[in-house]
Structure 1
Amino acid sequence: MKLRNLLPYLFLLICCAAAAQPDTSHLRISLLTCSPGVELYSTFGHTALRVTDSAHSVDMVYNYGTFDDRDPNFYAKFTKGIMLYALSNYSYQEFLQEYAYEHRGVIEQALQLTGEQKQKMYAALQENAREENRYYNYYFHTDNCTTRARDMIERQSGASVVFKNILPEKRPTYRNLIYTYLDNGNQYWSKFGIDMCLGSNFDDRVTNNQSMFLPDYLMKGLDNATADSHPLVLQKQVVVAAPPVPPASNLITPMFLFSTLLVITGLLSFSTNKWALRFLNVFDCLFFLFVGVFGLLIVTLWAIRVDIVCRNNFNVFWALPTHFFVAFVVYLKRKWLQQYFRVVFVLTFLFTLCWFFIPQQINVAVLPLLGIIMIRSYFRGNLPAKKRVTTNTTNIFNSSKAINIEL
């Protein structure tokens, strides 16, 4: 056989030998996905990166989800959306013990990267873990522990990572995605509170990349991703198997409680008994105070938060902040109060009519609240105003004079 005929085979043999060269980095990098927990902060799961260096007996976890709740200004910063999180690195065994204790599962996906790519990514993690670099401003759906891990793999490894689509044809919204977790855990009160605070910006439909702010979606994304045209995940295994988290037992849900109040107040509103009227005076004071507090909270979060998740909140059209102040004088029979409640009735009625056209998904438990507002504002708006008693001294004098004459 001529030498020129052997050249293609020799070239193929050299390429195969080059591809089969052993990985001398002694590194193994994997993504850890943790299942949801019982507490609200752990409802959506967690993500971390694991680095194993067999040459130096290193087995570390890099966790972007740590924060210091001992900060005296923690809650003020939390309200404003200025959450300072940090990257922490500690032993893998310590990480597993924590999640095994909480009965939460851990799934590991080993990444199929070259030795050079793993070295580059490990160096980036070590640099990011330095004290001057480890802190970052946490934003729930755009910059969190999961998106940081994704960006580290995609941008710092040097590999050409391509995430294939993992979303259905009709793309969900951010709110749809978190509903899945809240509904699975029967966390209806948490869902109601979140819906009250988050505005219409959270109803934007997510892209494939944006959906990976949640740990489960990043795990699915990695399962379908490629790195330099080959599968990104080399191996996937369950490290800690945990039983399913039992759903929270909420006997009194927002829908049940508010519907019960709607029926009770609806029946009592047509009663003329004095005790019913006294009860409704107290109820109206507490109810409109409750609604007004929600309205003030909505406006406050809209104004002070640095992110956009609480802006453009249409709940403010029924949870009027002015209710907070009116609640303290709701029992008074004044003309201006009548006019106020008539306006409230019209606004609430229009809001209910436009339910399906509002560019924000309103929690269904709001419907009985709207019913209560309309019933009580209707009756408050049609109460007879207190009449001012006037005294005509001339008539009184004449009347008394006539009586004297008769006597």
Structure 2
Amino acid sequence: MSLVARTLLLLALLGGVFAQAHAGVANAPGANLEVALVTYGPGETYWERFGHDAIQLRDTVSGESVNFNYGVFDFDESGFLLNFARGRMHYLMDAAPSELDERFYVQSGRSVTRQPLALTPDQAAALRDFLLWNLRPENARYDYDYYADNCTTRVRDALDRALGGVIRKQLETRAGGMTYRQQTARLMSAQPWLMLILDLGLGPYADQPLSAWQESFLPMVLQRELAHVNIDDGAGGTRSLTGEGTLLSPNRLDVPPDQAPDLRMPLAVAGLVFAALLIVSARHWPTGLALFGTLYLVAAGIVGVLLLVLWTLTTHHSAWANANLLLFNPLAFLLLPSLWRARRGLAASRLADRILLLQLIALAAAMALHLLPGIVQQNQPWLLFAIPCWLALSWSMRRGLRRLG
């Protein structure tokens, strides 16, 4: 549905189209409201890989059913791309008839699951009133964060608000199963190059141990964790918040793996192969060394610039203090002239000598940081890739071609 059509629906909900007695969700008494969590499986496009969800309110008298979600963004917003790059993304809350909202996901081959929630009439009415307030144009926009404030955490928080904090209280005491990094790699594994780029760009924030509350930034995790939440049954006991979920439409797409792929061996092998290529080229094909070395240094410099920009000029806090800056940094560009000197059998310049020494010290520092106690950035795959490449390049520039000269 287009943003214009969604806006018209929003105005209809707020403006009284459903204002007739018991005519719909907007004015139904709480006793007539059924509340459910609707969870949509991951899609094929990269921004759909995390899945999606919505809060469904249904008036049992009129039969009207509306899905409320927090996943709308507007490409036509002024400065959208610049704000996206800077980490200042603006998302919108949205509402649509349940059948219309779910039809898109069914047609896309994504699973649709409805999970009823046992809210009291007062809680259901309070949730409805909050969602309608939040749906107003002046309240619908929010600053999006991939992990801490996204379309699922907003759904989670709205439910928690209606239940008086019960969800948060219980899920914060439960340990999560994965870190932000592991969940990201798992869900993005269908796009390997994008998965590698994201893993390279994530800093130590992505490796902190998570509670079930924090890990519920993902729709499928929230769906699973809500089944562990118990609420007061009104008779001195407790009952489960959720009823038995109903699969409204099966998944017809490739399912993400249960665990994140282990990147250590593939990147270690890639690093060793590239290092061997540099050493062989240094001995037998000087021009090849210059070409392969240039490819590595330019890539390392570009990555270093991007990591530095993410840390210092954006609000992408998940990328701050990235230890991969010790492995790939802008100083790599300064080695290019000496690399091409080495092609003619000439020794590296004094500047290049110092940069190479500094880079080797940076490698040692990166390894030392990884061994420190506490929250350590899980960048072993990139250590295993970068260390043999830098060692081979340093040897080639300082020793390999000098013998030829």
TM-score normalized by structure 1? 0.78
Give the equivalent residue in structure 2 for 1:211. 215
Alpha-carbon separation, structure 2, partners of 1:247 and 1:135? 30
Give the equivalent residue in structure 1 for 2:40. 34
Give the equivalent residue in structure 2 for 1:263. 276
Give the equivalent residue in structure 1 for 2:143. 137
Residue pairs, 1:138-287, within 5 angstroms: 138-158=144-164, 160-161=166-167, 164=170, 172-182=178-188, 185-228=189-232, 229-245=238-254, 258-269=271-282, 271=283, 273=284, 276-287=285-296
Give the equivalent residue in structure 1 for 2:129. 123
Q: 1:258 to 1:40 in 2, by over 3 A?
A: farther
TM superposition shift of 1:151: 0.9
Q: Which among 302, 311, 325 is matched to residue 302 of structure 1?
A: 311
Give the equivalent residue in structure 2 for 1:360. 377
Contact 1:45/1:215 (<8 A) preserved? yes
* RMSD, aligned α-carbons: 3.0
Q: 1:225 to 1:170 in 2, by over 3 A?
A: closer
Give the equivalent residue in structure 2 for 1:379. 396
For 1:262, the aligned partner's letter is A
Q: Deviations over 1:52-86 (max 9, x none)?
A: 12334421111101101233522221121101001
Q: Which among 83, 86, 91 is matched to residue 89 of structure 2?
A: 83
**Where do 5+ consecutive residues of structure 1 fail to align?**
1-22, 388-407
Residue pairs, 1:304-323, within 5 angstroms: 304-323=313-332
Alpha-carbon separation, structure 2, partners of 1:89 and 1:343? 56
Contact 1:34/1:105 (<8 A) preserved? yes
Identity rate, percent = 23
Contact 1:302/1:311 (<8 A) preserved? yes
Contact 1:192/1:363 (<8 A) preserved? no
3-state SS of paired residue (2:197): helix
TM-score normalized by structure 2? 0.79
TM superposition shift of 1:91: 1.6
Give the equivalent residue in structure 2 for 1:104. 110
Alpha-carbon separation, structure 2, partners of 1:260 and 1:163? 50
Contact 2:43/2:108 (<8 A) preserved? yes
For 1:64, the aligned partner's letter is Y
Q: 1:350 to 1:267 in 2, by over 3 A?
A: farther
Q: Which among 356, 368, 380 is matched to residue 341 of structure 1?
A: 356
Contact 1:34/1:107 (<8 A) preserved? yes
Q: Bigger CA drift: 47-56 or 321-330?
A: 321-330
Q: Deviations over 1:193-221 (max 9, x none)?
A: 11211111221111221111111211112
For 2:321, the aligned partner's letter is N
Aligned length in residues? 355
3-state SS of paired residue (2:319): coil
Q: Deviations over 1:229-248 (max 9, x none)?
A: 32211341111111351679
Q: Deviations over 1:154-182 (max 9, x none)?
A: 11355855664599868643223333333
Give the equivalent residue in structure 1 for 2:300. 291
Contact 2:187/2:256 (<8 A) preserved? no
Alpha-carbon separation, structure 2, partners of 1:137 and 1:212? 18
Q: Bigger CA drift: 118-127 or 361-370?
A: 361-370
